[in-house]
Amino acid sequence: MTTTERLPLTRERIIEAAVAFADEHGIDDLSMRKLGAELGVEAMSLYNHVDNKDDIYDGMINYVFESIEMPSEGVDWRTGIRDICASAMEILWTHSWAVITLMQRGNFGPSALSFMNEVVGRLRNAGLNDEDIHHGWQMLASHTMGYASQAATNPGVMEQKLSNLQAMMAENEERYPHVAALGPLLSECQWDREYMFGLEIILDGLEARLN
Amino acid sequence: MTTTERLPLTRERIIEAAVAFADEHGIDDLSMRKLGAELGVEAMSLYNHVDNKDDIYDGMINYVFESIEMPSEGVDWRTGIRDICASAMEILWTHSWAVITLMQRGNFGPSALSFMNEVVGRLRNAGLNDEDIHHGWQMLASHTMGYASQAATNPGVMEQKLSNLQAMMAENEERYPHVAALGPLLSECQWDREYMFGLEIILDGLEARLN
DNA sequence: ACCTGAACACCGTTCAAGT
DNA sequence: ACCTGAACACCGTTCAAGT
């Protein structure tokens, strides 16, 4: 905020500032005017480096997916996919706005396509046929996006902010008995471990299709 | 638009109009002013029956989840869950804004809790222990929300609107070779059948944990 | 080439005023 | 009790004007 104001404005700097802002204040609070202020510039200056706000969203998503770590080509397909997915979940967790924004935009940018290409390549390496590769990718993508979005809106207990689900349950134990019976398992859900558990079931299912 | 204008305004009528509007024009175009106009009323009148716009979103989500059909208690657990999930996917498909709005709100209303309660109850009936019931629910929820959101943003071929993924691929075949190799499988993806395929793998994985 | 001020057409929401 | 008009504090985006 003090020394950075003199740096020339670039698309890259705008995207990075937008990511930082969304991480701190949430993506709903992000506006062109506030983003400009963060960069020591009027909102309208941003349009010299960026098409519009959607373009910024796409850039943010791309920026986040770029940091997914790809394991070496050497490892076997299961550990390869496991590692890619674990890395993806970790970065989606730290940028909790990313999944939902991606879903809204419905736009796979270059880095999301690289992620997809990497997973699909390893499924092919495993020896699956094209149809099962396709099934596998769709399952892994849905699993990852589903857990990431649930984790994003249901913060763990450490966040002390009681989830909406917990609040609703507290008043309606008799109306949703089966949900109530799960009690602590729901409120103390560790999304990363839960995610990896489900991942193994999917990988088991795919492995069973290797003949 | 002609005869309905005289009906008294109610929360219910507002929610129904909002759902119809979102179905037709997409949820991003929904505004208090437009919704009022749809009901022959000024935007400010809505606040007599509704807290604010978020309250409308919650009402819309609840309205949609209410129409999920619950099979009879008699059927075995697998077909029961299969039928509930198939119904859920169908209604989430027809109201393509619903999943993303639910994820953004992060708010399980009464009817979403009923859906959850029904699925969890049937997992319990299957004979799973509490931990596996919890795992099962999280997997089924993620699977459903993940596919629904992907289906919502990647319309089938019949919609003739080429998906963003297809457009991106057309220009970068050599950059994402494994993705490109899947070609028609991706562009002609039938989300409902794909969803049911993955559902079976999850149910297989859960069934294997019955001892 | 890049930044700005003023303006346009919208938002959600509040509040005093009407009936 | 319910609806309204005017107002407030915001939006994203355009465009002519500055340097």
pLDDT at residue B2 in the model: 39
Angle, alpha carbons A144-A147-A153 (nearest 5°) = 135
Q: Which nucleotide is closest to A45, CA to C1'?
A: C3
A6 burial class (0-12, 13-18, 19+ CB within 10 angstroms)? Answer: exposed
B11-63: CATH architecture: Orthogonal Bundle (1.10)
Return the half-sphere exposure (C-beta side, CA atoms, 13 A cut-off) of residue B202.
31
Chain B hits for A151, Cβ within 8 Å:
none
Å separating the CA of residue B72 from the C1' of nucleotide C13: 45
Give the distance from residue B38's alpha carbon to the nearest chain A alpha carbon, in angstroms.
Answer: 25
Angle, alpha carbons B19-B23-B28 (nearest 5°) = 90
Q: Show me where the domains of chain A are located.
A: 11-63, 75-210
Å separating the CA of residue B8 from the C1' of nucleotide C11: 26
Task: Give me the mean pLDDT over the A125-138 stretch.
Answer: 98
For B68, the token pair is 């999920």
In terms of Cα–Cα distance, which of A70, A78, A94, A124 is closest to A192?
Answer: A94
Backbone angles phi, psi at A156, to 5 degrees: -65, 175
In terms of Cα–Cα distance, which of A104, A103, A27, A11 is closest to A63?
Answer: A11
pTM: 0.93
Q: In chain B, which residues have pLDDT < 50? A: 1-5
Task: Write out the DSSP string of A56-101.
Answer: HHHHHHHHHHHTPPPPPTTS-HHHHHHHHHHHHHHHHHHSTTHHHH
pLDDT at residue B155 in the model: 67
Q: What part of B 45-84 touches A (C-beta under 8 Å)?
A: none
Strand D near-CB residues (< 7 Å), B 11-50: 36, 41-42, 44-45, 48-49
pLDDT at residue A2 in the model: 39
Tens of pLDDT, residues A41-73: 999 999 999 999 999 999 999 999 999 999 999
Nearest CA in chain B to A154: B106
Can you tell me the distance from the alpha carbon of B64 to that of B69, in angstroms, rounded to the nearest whole number?
11
The residue type found at B158 is M
Q: How confident is the model at residue A1 (pLDDT cuts 50, 70, 90)?
A: very low
Q: Comparing B11-63 with B75-210, is the CATH topology the same? A: no
Can you tell me the distance from the alpha carbon of A49 to that of A38, in angstroms, rounded to the nearest whole number?
16
A157 pLDDT above the threshold of 80: no
In this complex, is the C-beta atom of A125 within 8 Å of any C-beta atom belonging to chain B? no
Helix (H) or strand (E) holding B203: helix B191-207
Q: How far is CA A148 from CA A42, A132, B44, in A?
A: 34, 24, 37
In this complex, is the C-beta atom of B127 within 8 Å of any C-beta atom belonging to chain A? no
Can you tell me the distance from the alpha carbon of A50 to that of B4, in angstroms, rounded to the nearest whole number?
45
In terms of Cα–Cα distance, which of A116, A153, A123, A142 is closest to A195?
Answer: A142
pLDDT at residue B162 in the model: 60
Task: Name the DSSP class of B93.
Answer: H
Give every CB contact of residue B102 below 8 A, 6+ residues apart in sequence.
Answer: B61, B112, B145
Residue at shortest CA–C1' distance from D2: B48
B32 neighbors B18 (Cβ within 8 angstroms): no
Give, in words, the CATH class of A75-210: mainly alpha
Contact A201 B106 (CB under 8 A): no
In this complex, is the C-beta atom of A121 within 8 Å of any C-beta atom belonging to chain B? yes
Can you tell me the distance from the alpha carbon of A195 to that of B198, in angstroms, rounded to the nearest whole number?
16
Task: Give me the mean pLDDT over the A115-119 stretch.
Answer: 97
B169 neighbors B179 (Cβ within 8 angstroms): yes
